[in-house]
Amino acid sequence: MQRKLVVALSILLVFSFSLTALAQDRVVTMMGVWGGQELEAFKKVMVAFTTKTGIKVQFEGTRDLPTLLQTRLAAGNPPDVAAIPGPGAMKEYADQGALVDLNTVLDLDTLKANMNKSWIELGTYNDGLYALMFSADIKSLVWYRPDQFAAKGYEVPTTWEEMEALMDKMVANGDTPWAIGLESGAASGWPATDWIEDILLRTAGPEVYDQWVDHEIPWTDPRIKEAFEVFGKITTNSDYVYGGPITVLSTNFGDSVAELFTDPPRAMMHRQASFITSFIQDANPNVKIGEDVDFFAFPMIKPEHGNPMLGGGDMVAQFKSTPEATAFMNFLATAEAQEIWVSELGKLGTNNKINPAVYPDDLTREMARVLNEADVFRFDGSDSMPAAVGSGAFWEGTLMYVGGESLDDVLEFIEAAAIDSY
């Protein structure tokens, strides 16, 4: 009897250990750059997923994602999923055979019904679907204070000619048109690349933009040089930008918008993506987004190219084919998951079934509508290029240019990196 009891207890213990091990196996490992407010928001997404499925998510945050992820891939130990910078990184990992084709794991009929085709196209490469657009940002926006514009008699420009006239009028009135900051730690320079991309889309058009991103035309092409020059006429002119080039180079991108809210304002306009609202709100809790501060579209430059939409976003790729990772990817594609993310951060969801009420204000709701209905959308060019170019030489080159180096030398510098990388 005693022996039978021991055997029974042993079986029970083995069974218990097996259940524990099984529970422990129900884990998704994820890597990304998110920290601070973004990470806190994503933790809520992870909790919702765990509550729904019982699967835990272990998040590893790093600001040096490309290096660490490549190291993990080389060691044969990648995370299950990772938030990657953009299509450029996605293509590199896909070429390495490191990514799971989401065509085999996602509910494609539901995905196509709930997501604008442009988001799916951004994650598509060589007939495979290798990344999910989890959220997006509009970048073609200029922020301003309606009360200041009204008081000064300034009108919102719709063309570049009107923008140039407005800038000159501001200077004549003793106002500084722009607040710009390019500092962002190891990522310094990226706000400048957004400017240049927006300008290039409007001076040369989307087709040339695509050729440039794919390095089918060189960086020394006159059309690329023109886009840099339009940008340089502002950033290298102390009349046009608060503090001149030195301040532009040394001011953090998230801090620069604060110049619109000093008394009196040190600058009248700030070009930045939709996510800047969270920075505005954090620094100025009493500011009402959509009332005290508003946006207008980055103006058209050449009429034949219209007013395309530049944007960025959070892309998630799957590196391991496990049931848990597959379940997590399917969850991230849902309106449920994206509603948590966008309600916390003011980002824009890619699932068109998102309840508009979750967005924090009417302004954000309007941006979401515009983004998902845009006829011409292009992803951030620097995020679509090989890392050595887009987040390397291009970032660095813009800093060199604003710092006073010859534009021809800067373009040759970036071109050399591109030749080695494509």
Residue 18 lies in a domain: no
Residues 215 and 330 in one domain: no
The answer to whether position 235 is within a domain reads yes
- CATH for 275: 3.40.190.10
Whether residue 123 is found in the same domain as residue 219: no
One pLDDT digit (tens) per residue for the chain, 422 residues: 444 443 333 333 333 333 333 445 799 999 999 988 889 999 999 999 999 999 999 999 998 888 899 999 999 999 999 999 888 889 999 999 999 999 999 999 999 999 988 889 899 999 999 999 999 889 999 999 999 999 999 999 999 999 999 999 999 999 999 999 999 998 999 999 999 999 999 999 999 999 999 999 999 999 999 999 999 999 999 999 999 999 999 999 999 999 999 999 999 999 999 889 889 988 889 999 899 999 999 999 999 998 899 998 899 999 999 999 999 999 999 999 999 999 988 789 999 999 999 998 888 888 888 787 776 889 999 988 988 999 999 999 999 999 999 999 999 999 999 999 99
Strand segments, DSSP code E, in 126-266 are 128-129, 132-138, 141-144
Beta carbons within 8 Å of 50's beta carbon, 6+ residues apart: 56, 57
Q: List Cβ neighbours of 272 (8 Å cut-off, separation of 6 or more).
A: 139, 141, 143, 191, 194, 253, 257
In a domain, 405, yes or no: yes
Asked whether the beta carbons of 292 and 362 are under 8 A apart, the reply is no
Task: List C-alpha distances in Å: 371 to 192, 289, 388.
Answer: 22, 18, 29
Range of the domain at 332: 27-138+312-373
Calculated CA dihedral for residues 408, 410, 416, 422, nearest 10 degrees: -110
Which pLDDT score is estimated for 252?
A: 96
Q: How many domains does the chain have?
A: 2
Identify the pLDDT of residue 376.
82
Contact 356, 370 (CB under 8 A): no
Backbone phi, psi, residue 313, to 5°? 170, 180
